Structure 1
């Protein structure tokens, strides 16, 4: 297999060089036109196919093919796909190998073929040497080729040279395949991308688990503690009705207990909404935003498709971005009106909260900093634009593929 690998380099080397030169020149010429991007992607595709053949060919020596090093070309536009292909080191390492293969594969391939041909020729000298008489050949070629004893001496010499030729061929194959593995095998870039993807999946599972746990806590509080407080309040209301008009010293205490239960219930409801609003689970983000707008002391306009649903963690983070934006507008900016805009693209979800207040919001404030951490936990971005005099615009964007 080592000989077949080296012999294949005699053909693969010139093919790789010709394609590399043609691809570079073609892309360079078309780069000034609108065909530059498609030409680059097409050239990269063909280069990857040729490099894939080289990886499989290296498997003849290694025992298995070299693993591809590529990362998927992500992007919803041609420009982004071109950028993704161009920034991958594997794209240029493939091209470098096709260029290097010409001198390396051609030189080592010819050397291997010559060594094999000489060894086989010596072993079979009695079968063919008699047919090429050369009376003017120099010594010791003449006696070796033209006499029977010389021909069988060539056989003995071939038996000695065959192991040496085999060792040399294996050495040259290892040299070439080592160079191929250095350029064609996955490198640090692929390892880092895979590690980042693994960490992203792990974090997504943690975020989803946390969101599910918050929903469970909200449900337990809503269906358990809150229901029991409501029942206790009703019991106290009945007791207060029975004591009404009676001169009982317990009547004021019952009224006080009712007020305390009402306050506790209101506080518990605020806590539940702060953990995870029930309406967010039941009716979705748009309905939850509508409820926020209805509770706001200023008129708030909501723009966006009311039927859109998103992952639970994204909906929760977007809801709290809107809640913080409206709360800040009502408390600090003196705004008279606000707006919430919810947008969806093929790759992201964005929510923007705007008010007509006096501006000057501090992006490093504790509330906005907490929101930033919540958004960034989902690989999102939070931007605050609040010049003095207003308006203030709070915008969060979350990656969310369709």
Structure 2
């Protein structure tokens, strides 16, 4: 309660001063903007206004219990460059908007809150001070309440009864004023959304690059070593047979080790394809879709031409959408044929459609499709699954391709 009253009182004091400053400096800057004095005056006015806004952010954070972040972009360079940067920074004009609104907002909430607090406190303490201000000209009903001892205690009881309302209203008015200040003086939510989206896309691109690096390391490192070890074991087996030791137990161990290496190589290749298919890095999405169509156990018509350059993360997500949709068509839908189409959209994005003639009834919330949807949505894309009972099933994914 005390913090709210102090905040409202400061608003009543600062509001008119800030409003007068905003009006006077705006007029002066506008009038002198056609002269050489305009730029230095604008820089000085902005510097002072930002200090006032900083004080207001501290005051709002004190009430809200959460610090209001600094919304300003760093500015450097010569005065003309700083002036242009300040005029283009939305925070400059949001500061000005709050300086103009601080008087009506701070005055309205401050006066109402302070009057409620003072009147209620005065009513509660009526027996202590009301005797010192007698008024013989009051209405008879008010005369008993103000000028008699029982009436003053009754007045105090009324104040105590109204105290819960005052204890709610005054902090609420203080938080309202602080919320308006934080909304205008804090970072622009739209800019924060844009920055978060750009940061997320950079993280996704970095993850895709790291997956490609891991795939290359496995392909060129571990896989090559396993192949070399298999060739060494094959050479050892040949030497054992040439030496007449075909029935030697050591040769059986060599053959067993070679089979184990072959199994490990198959698992490693499956792991590499699951991390980042090599064909994507080597030949692009169109060739990768064609390869998936060729490997399917039923006829697949694939159309994926002239896709151009695509972000690696988009290529990988589109590839796995096609791969998962074809796998579901084989395992669950009992499809006899399938169509895959990948094409650029009018706005430069990528649209991937997989349609099969299976029995339908696919659950869009299933683990496989839900995981694909999350991967698509992480790239600001959208994935829809249409699978009525009896079929057909259509999986559509759309990706923006802005890097």
TM-score tier (shorter): 0.5 to 0.7
SS in 2 for 1:305: coil
- 1:137-216 alignment, distance < 5 Å: 187=184, 191-216=188-213
> Structure 1: how far apart are the matches of 2:23 and 2:391?
74
- 1:2-401 alignment, distance < 5 Å: 62=45, 67=87, 187=184, 191-244=188-241, 246-306=246-306, 308-347=308-347, 348-401=349-402
SS in 2 for 1:250: helix
Change (3 A) 1:224 1:68: closer
CA deviations on 1:70-91 (whole Å, 9 max, x unpaired) are: 7xxxxxxxxxxxxxxxxxxx9x
Counterpart of 2:9? none
Q: Post-superposition, which runs of at least 4 consecutive aligned residues in structure 1 deviate over 4 A?
A: 1-9, 58-70, 186-190
> Structure 1: how far apart are the matches of 2:313 and 2:202?
11
Contact preservation (8 Å) 1:322, 1:353? yes
Change (3 A) 1:196 1:247: same
Change (3 A) 1:7 1:344: same
Displacement of 1:243 in angstroms is: 2.8
Displacement of 1:332 in angstroms is: 0.9
Contact preservation (8 Å) 1:292, 1:323? yes
Contact preservation (8 Å) 2:223, 2:265? yes
Displacement of 1:354 in angstroms is: 1.1
Displacement of 1:61 in angstroms is: 10
CA deviations on 1:216-267 (whole Å, 9 max, x unpaired) are: 1100100010001101111111222233363211222222222111111011
Contact preservation (8 Å) 1:5, 1:61? no
> Structure 2: how far apart are the matches of 1:69 and 1:5?
16
> Structure 2: how far apart are the matches of 1:200 and 1:67?
25
Query: Which range is displaced more, 188-197 or 250-259?
Result: 188-197
Change (3 A) 1:200 1:3: closer
Change (3 A) 1:194 1:265: same
> Structure 1: how far apart are the matches of 2:209 and 2:193?
24
Contact preservation (8 Å) 1:384, 1:392? yes
Change (3 A) 1:247 1:68: closer
Counterpart of 2:174? none
Contact preservation (8 Å) 1:363, 1:384? yes
Change (3 A) 1:388 1:60: same
SS in 1 for 2:247: coil
Displacement of 1:7 in angstroms is: 10
CA deviations on 1:175-202 (whole Å, 9 max, x unpaired) are: xxxxxxxx9xx95898111001110111
> Structure 1: how far apart are the matches of 2:298 and 2:219?
28
CA deviations on 1:8-30 (whole Å, 9 max, x unpaired) are: 99xxxxxxxxxxxxxxxxxxxxx
- Unaligned segments of structure 1, at least 5 residues: 10-55, 71-89, 98-182
Contact preservation (8 Å) 1:2, 1:60? no
> Structure 2: how far apart are the matches of 1:3 and 1:366?
63
TM, length-normalised to structure 1: 0.55
> Structure 2: how far apart are the matches of 1:8 and 1:232?
79
Q: Indicate the structure (1 or 2) with the bigger Cα radius of gyration.
A: 1
Query: Which range is displaced more, 190-199 or 279-288?
Result: 190-199
Query: What is the CA RMSD across the aligned residues, in angstroms?
Result: 3.7
> Structure 2: how far apart are the matches of 1:60 and 1:252?
86
> Structure 2: how far apart are the matches of 1:209 and 1:229?
29
Change (3 A) 1:7 1:276: closer
Displacement of 1:340 in angstroms is: 1.0
Contact preservation (8 Å) 1:5, 1:60? no
Aligned length in residues? 250
Contact preservation (8 Å) 1:69, 1:190? no
Contact preservation (8 Å) 2:289, 2:304? no
Contact preservation (8 Å) 1:287, 1:306? no
TM, length-normalised to structure 2: 0.55
